[in-house]
Amino acid sequence: GAGVSQSPSNKVTEKGKDVELRCDPISGHTALYWYRQSLGQGLEFLIYFQGNSAPDKSGLPSDRFSAERTGGSVSTLTIQRTQQEDSAVYLCASSLLASPYNEQFFGPGTRLTVL
Amino acid sequence: AQSVTQLDSQVPVFEEAPVELRCNYSSSVSVYLFWYVQYPNQGLQLLLKYLSGSTLVESINGFEAEFNKSQTSFHLRKPSVHISDTAEYFCAVSDQGAQKLVFGQGTRLTINP
C-alpha cells in the first residue's frame, strides 16, 4: 500500500516569504507527526495530531510555525516569514494510533532552503 | 525533559566485523526505546524497539539491542556487518504518556570492504 507522502520534495524560498508543506498520511492512520531534521539540531519533534486535534505543540520553535489537519487526514505545516535558520528537512510520520505501541511510518521529507 | 545521547557521530568498520552503536538516555520512570535507520537517499525506517518484557530485542536483519535500565542504555549491536548496513542510525525514546519521539544526533555507520 501507499506510504506517507510529502510535497513538495524540495522547496527553495526567499527570506521573509511564507511556505506551506503538505503531508498525506497512510490511509486509516489517526496519528500524524511533524519532525525537523537539520544539521545543527538533529531530528526534532515539532507537533503531533490525534485526529484533527493537536495535543502536543511543544516542539514548534516559534509562533511563525503552525500546522493544521483537516478531515483526520492531510496535514499542512505553515512557516510564516521564513528565516535562514528554518532551512532543514521537514519529516512527517503517521501511525495507526498515537501510542508507542504503534510504529511511526515516516515520509521522504521536504527539503526547505531559505535563501 | 527526556534526552538521548549517541556518543559516536561516525563509526567506520570493516565488512564482517562486529559493531556496537551506543545510545544513552536520560532517566525516566518508564520509557520506550527505538532504533531507526536511514539508508542513503531513503526515509527513516524502524529497525527495532523495546516496549516491555525481554530486555534483548532483535531485528530481522541481524541487529540486536539490549535495554539496560541501571545504565540507562540501549546499545545496538551486530556480530558481522555487511556493506548493505551502511546507513545512519538514530536512537529514540518515548516517555510513557508522551507520544513524541526524542531522537539522538545519529551515528553514521560506514562499512569498508
| A48-70 pLDDT, tens digit each | 999 988 888 889 999 999 999 98
Q: Is A57 on the interface with B (CB under 8 A)?
A: no
* Average pLDDT estimate for B58-78: 94
Q: Judge contact between B11 and B109, C-beta under 8 A.
A: yes
Which band of pLDDT confidence, cut at 50, 70 and 90, is reported for residue B13? very high
Å between B99 CA and nearest CA of chain A: 6
Written as nine digits, the cell of B64 is: 540486536
- The Cα–Cα gap between B44 and B36 comes to 6
Quick: pLDDT tens for B23-57.
Answer: 999 876 778 999 999 999 888 999 999 988 888 99
Å between B52 CA and nearest CA of chain A: 10
Whether the pLDDT of residue A11 is over 90: the answer is yes
Q: Is B99 on the interface with A (CB under 8 A)?
A: yes
Q: Which site among A26, A102, A104, A110 would you substitute to test the B interface, given the most B Cβ atoms closer than 10 Å to its Cβ?
A: A104
Q: What is the pLDDT of residue A29?
A: 94
Counted across chains A and B, CB pairs separated by less than 8 A come out at: 51
b/e map A81-99, b = 16+ CB within 10 Å:
ebeeebbbbbbbbbbeebe
The DSSP symbol for A2 reads -
Quick: pLDDT tens for A20-50.
Answer: 999 999 999 999 999 999 987 789 999 999 9
- The Cα–Cα gap between B34 and B59 comes to 11
Backbone φ, ψ for residue B88 (5° rounding) = -105, 135
Give how far Cα A100 sits from Cα of A48, A63, B40, Å. 13, 28, 26
Chain B environment of A50 (Cβ under 8 Å): 99
Among candidate residues A100, A111, A89, A93, the one with its CA nearest the CA of residue A42: A89
b/e map B10-26, b = 16+ CB within 10 Å:
ebebeeeeebebbbbbe
Using CB atoms, pick whichever of A45, A58, A101 lies closest to residue B101. Answer: A45
Which residue of chain B has the CA closest to A100?
B99
Beta strands in B2-106 (DSSP E): 4-5, 10-14, 19-21, 24-25, 31-38, 44-50, 56-58, 64-68, 73-78, 87-95, 102-103
Quick: pLDDT tens for A73-97.
Answer: 999 999 999 999 999 999 999 999 8
The reply to whether residue A48 touches residue B99, judged by beta carbons under 8 angstroms, is yes
Whether the pLDDT of residue A72 is over 90: the answer is no
The reply to whether residue A101 touches residue B100, judged by beta carbons under 8 angstroms, is no
Whether the pLDDT of residue A1 is over 70: the answer is no
